[in-house]
Chain A
Amino acid sequence: MTGSPAALSDRGARFAMALPALVVFAGFALLPMALVFVLGFTSWDGLGTPAWTGAANWRAAMRDPVTQMSGWLTVKVMLIGWVVQTPISLFLGVFIAGRERYRAVFAVIYFVPLLLSTTAIGITFRALLDPNFGLSTAPSLAFMAKDWLGDTDLVLYSIIGVICWQFIPFHTLLYQAGVRQIPPVLYEAARLDGAGRLAQFWYITLPQLRYTIVTSSMLILIGSLTYFDVIYVMTEGGPGEATRVLPLDMFLTAFRQREMGRASATAAFLVVAGLMLSLAMVRFSGFAKMRSQQEGL
């Protein structure tokens, strides 16, 4: 390859073509991230000149009970979100992967949340869950009469519910595509061997969906590190600090408390946590190797 003028110009062309994307990526992703790390070592109110404070922000973030609690809330949102979303999306995805027309009708209904903006979802749920004017005032929905957004023990679960409602359609779509990729011959062979529906699901669908599950889980878990909008619209982190997840804590620290340095330290932590989480998942799931699941077909 190397040496011949043709190959050289080929390489040059490849580089030239990648350049615009690289410049944009470096300018709008890498550079700001590097700046965030630097700002993490300063004290800055967003207006004056940042003052170098060394590791003070990082030490404060480690010790601050609010930040610790925010971290714990984020982990909760992440894990509960995964546990709720994965089985439901898997089930719905398998269901609407069938070619019957009624399933397509259901699919259209399921996908509605995907079309709505997050702010619209937040405002709508806020109105629906209102204790005085919300759903609970309908005659047959009296069981809805809970203080969904005002009870500090309940509010996090209400928020997780809304997040799940918003994102399950997307993961359903992933699973639907995954299921449709599975060659029908596998099911035919299994049926000949006398496998029932459950056995087919357990021994064919699930293993064949392995990489889809990894992809979807990765999106859920890493997405949880950045959930912000729905929570901001619905509760602004309250009541008290009951829904102040880490990204929101970062935002409030930056723009309410005007401590950009402190907030940058939190942001840097989130970047590192997200990177490590995705690296770990890629490594332990064998995702990077992407070995064929269909050898011999």
Chain B
Amino acid sequence: MRKPFAWTAVAVAVAVLTSRGFAEPDPTGGTLAWALTSGDEKAYHHAVDQYNQKHPTSKITLQQFSNDPYKQKLLVAMGAGNAPDLFFNWGGGILKSYVDAGNVVDLTPEFSKDPGWKTRFFPSVLAAGTFDGKIYGVPINGVQPVVFYYNKKLFEEVGAQPPRTWNELLALIPKFKAKNKSLLSVAGADRWTYLMYAEYLVDRMGGPQVFSDIVAGKPDAWLNPAVVKAAEMIQDLVKKGAFEKGYAGVSYGNGQATALLYSGRAGMQLMGTWDFPNILNGQPNFVKQGSLGWLAFPTVEGGSGNAADVAGNAANLYSVYAKSTHKAVAIDFLRTAVLSDANVDVLLQNGSVPPVVGLESKIAKAPNAEWLTFIYNLAKGAPSFQLSWDQALPPAEADALLTQLDALFLLKITPKQFADKMNQAMKR
């Protein structure tokens, strides 16, 4: 009786140890892709399903994660040498760090073989994944400029007009306060939400060169008067009571900040285009009744930046892992399934605008055409498309920036101190 039991135990142990789960991306399995949940996930599924139907022998498996844990998971997987064949990313500084470590496939030769593939996309979006003239990422979802969303119904109630200039915006603050509402909703607990104000105000004050200098690490780039002025304007908003009560503890991820907008407690929220599908799927009636309005970030009086500039994320990219054993399949998938005509339709249905040229007539026929056209023209016509600062900067400087910005919004430091501290963080 005893011996069979012992052998069973050994057999089970061997089975457990050798089974998958030990090494995460199973080397014998199909091609693995990692992406995020939410936003344009319908399109990610669509692309994979479409590809798998056509290629039953070389299937792609899609795994999805939520935003913050994903960034850490990817870093660990890269460091440990078992990243997925295709990985979702934002381009910019983080992708560059993986490129520098030799973890990402250079897609330039593939693009040269198929020139039509390259010219399909907005150049400003491909630029987010291009370093030293080499292309490392392919766009997979909608362009994500940051815009102001506003609650039309609440604006009517308060008797306010959507602001076209910064002074008009400031003038609205007391109007909303008088009705016991707040003009702006911001998810302060997430911090990157603060960043959007800084990105736009610095650009409107001093143009895109100010931040280009910062990314390039030019001496004292953070001490630029435009940075200090933008920080002053942010504190002015806080002091005038533009934001909702307890804004520092409100989070975006669980929907609180957006809920303030559609439940009529706050007039406006500055947010990326990914908020539109969120509202469309979560509060379809709010959009159908025409209560959701949107506008580009206002012009700022006295600033030298172009009011047509936008900030945000160009679009998300898929990149191919250098140690992947399924490179051919991965690249074939990127070329034929991602942002294919059918895939573009899925994105448009979802309220997202893919960075693909010549979509005007398609967009005009799509539902929510007004929104799609607004974003399409905003992204296409932007003289400068500023990539989110936390993605553009090296990780240590980006972390310092979020912390200092938090302190700035809490009035714990002065605008001058903000610039000084960032200048020190850049030097380190």
Contacts and interface: CB of A to CB of B under 8 A. Distances in A.
Interface in A43-83: 45-48
Contacts of A255: 71-72, 75
Contacts of B75: 46-47, 255, 258
Chain B interface, >50% SS class = helix
A239 B97 contact: no
Given A131-B250, A149-B189, A257-B395, A239 B410 contact: yes
Contacts of B254: 123, 126-127
Interface in B65-116: 71-72, 75-76, 78-79, 97-98, 100-101, 103
B67 to A, nearest CB: 12
A127 B253 CA distance: 11
Contacts of A236: 189, 191
B249 A148 contact: yes
B1 to A, nearest CB: 21
B127 to A, nearest CB: 23
Contacts, number: 97
A131 B245 contact: yes
Best-surrounded residue of A123, A127, A151, A238 (most CB of chain B within 10 A): A238
A296 B191 CA distance: 64
B283 interface: no
A161 interface: no
Contacts of A133: 256, 259
> Which interface class (under 10, 10 to 19, 20 to 34, 35 or more) fits B?
35 or more
A240 B245 contact: no
A14 interface: no
Contacts of B410: 152, 239-240
A46 B189 contact: no
Interface residues of A, number: 31
A132 B395 contact: no
A150 B188 contact: yes
Nearest to B428: A60
A270 interface: no
B133 interface: no
Interface string B395-428: 1101110010011001010000000000000000
A129 B406 contact: no
Given A133-B256, A252-B399, A150 B407 contact: no
A45 B97 contact: yes
Nearest to B390: A256
B255 to A, nearest CB: 9
A132 B260 contact: yes
A5 B259 CA distance: 77
Contact of B399 (A131, A152, A257): A257
B59 interface: no
A45 B103 CA distance: 14
B152 interface: no
Nearest to A60: B428
Contacts of A239: 188-189, 248-249, 406, 410
A254 B144 CA distance: 28
Q: Which 5 A-B pairs have the closest CB atoms?
A: A131-B246, A150-B249, A149-B249, A150-B248, A47-B101
20 contacts: A46-B76, A47-B79, A47-B98, A47-B101, A47-B103, A126-B251, A129-B249, A130-B256, A132-B260, A147-B245, A148-B249, A150-B246, A236-B189, A239-B189, A239-B249, A239-B406, A240-B403, A240-B407, A240-B412, A255-B72
